[in-house]
């Protein structure tokens, strides 16, 4: 499993895939990556320390992901992230979180007040019905203003039966309106029952990808390892 990479393109940054105690939610129907977790905090810290040794600060910008939410990382790992970022003159740190931790984000920002924190939400889509009844994302909020209130960035998931070129375009436009940056993920075959819609993905690549591929505020991952981490 690759746990460190450098993103040279848009918003150049280093990225680390750390390991936490595990997603507390685990109900998203499309997701099987929450299995990258361990309840033993010491083992996680040992692994995370090794991964963080790779960080050089080349772009002074670090994205930290952990197959769940930042709040599931152990305290020692969180302290080490701060220490490494200070040592390497990193000014911007990106973390991911599920919406259920919404009310803990202000405190996290205080804790990381020496840095610019960019919080990324796993939103997947603004379409409430699709998100909650098909993807079972667990975000019981409809208002884009409220959803984006504490988050700077968002992940979207496209290429699933039930979505259309129009719904995708609408999500991207809303995403760019309500967030500083968005990350578009195309559904890849995994062990869940949610399957990629190949025709829709083809249409995405033909009709939507060319419009946004050079947009600095949009990362587009056609394969889920395109950032260079994961397996």
- Per rule CB under 6 A, count of chain residues that contact ligand SF4: 10
Residue among 23, 80, 85, 174 that touches ligand SF4 (CB under 6 A): 23
Question: Among positive and negative, which fits the CA dihedral 138, 140, 144, 146?
Answer: negative
HEC readout, 100-162? HHHHHHHHHHHHCCCCEEEEEEEEECCCHHHHHHHCCCCCCCCCHHHHHCCCCEEEEEECEEC
Q: Which long-range contacts (CB under 8 A, 24 or more apart) does 205-213 make?
A: 207/165, 208/165, 208/168, 208/169, 208/172, 212/172, 212/184
Q: Let me know the angle formed at the C-alpha of 72 by 110 and 142, rounded to the nearest 5 degrees.
A: 75
23-33 burial, b for 16+ CB within 10 Å, e for fewer?
Answer: bebeebebbeb
Of 25-33, 39-47, 49-57, 78-86, the window that binds ligand SF4 (rule: CB under 6 A) is 25-33
The reply to whether 98 sits near ligand SF4 by the rule CB under 6 A is yes
Q: How far apart (Å, rounded) are the C-alpha atoms in residues 161 and 164?
A: 8
Comparing CB distances to ligand SF4, the nearer of 85 and 121 is 121
Comparing CB distances to ligand SF4, the nearer of 190 and 215 is 190
The reply to whether 28 sits near ligand SF4 by the rule CB under 6 A is yes
Comparing CB distances to ligand SF4, the nearer of 14 and 72 is 72
Residue among 4, 73, 122, 182 that touches ligand SF4 (CB under 6 A): 122
The reply to whether 26 sits near ligand SF4 by the rule CB under 6 A is yes
The reply to whether 20 sits near ligand SF4 by the rule CB under 6 A is no
The reply to whether 68 sits near ligand SF4 by the rule CB under 6 A is yes
Residue among 11, 13, 34, 62 that touches ligand SF4 (CB under 6 A): 34
Least distance from ligand SF4 to the Cβ atom of residue 143, Å: 20
Q: Which residues of this protein are in contact with ligand SF4, per CB under 6 A?
A: 23, 25-26, 28, 31, 34, 67-68, 98, 122
């Amino acid at each position: 499993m690759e746990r460190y990479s450098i993103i040279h393109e848009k918003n150049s940054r280093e990225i680390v895939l750390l390991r936490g105690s595990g997603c507390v939610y685990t109900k998203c129907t499309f997701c099987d990556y929450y299995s990258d977790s361990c309840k033993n905090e010491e083992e996680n810290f040992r692994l995370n320390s090794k991964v963080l040794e790779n960080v050089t600060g080349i772009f002074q910008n670090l994205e930290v992901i952990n197959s769940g939410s930042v709040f599931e990382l152990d305290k020692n790992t969180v302290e080490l992230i701060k220490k490494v970022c200070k040592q390497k003159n990193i000014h911007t740190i990106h973390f991911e979180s599920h919406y259920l931790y919404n009310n803990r984000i202000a405190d996290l920002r205080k804790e990381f007040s020496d840095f610019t924190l960019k919080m990324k939400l796993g939103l997947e889509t603004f379409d409430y019905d699709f998100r909650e009844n098909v993807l079972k994302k667990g975000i019981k909020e409809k208002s884009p203003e409220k959803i984006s209130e504490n988050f700077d960035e968002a992940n979207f998931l496209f290429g699933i039966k039930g979505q259309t070129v129009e719904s995708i375009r609408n999500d991207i436009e809303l995403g760019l309106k309500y967030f500083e940056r968005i990350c578009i993920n195309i559904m890849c075959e995994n062990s869940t029952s949610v399957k990629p819609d190949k025709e829709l993905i083809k249409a995405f690549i033909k009709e939507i990808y060319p419009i946004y591929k050079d947009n600095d505020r949009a990362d587009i991952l056609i394969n889920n390892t395109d950032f260079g981490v994961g397996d």
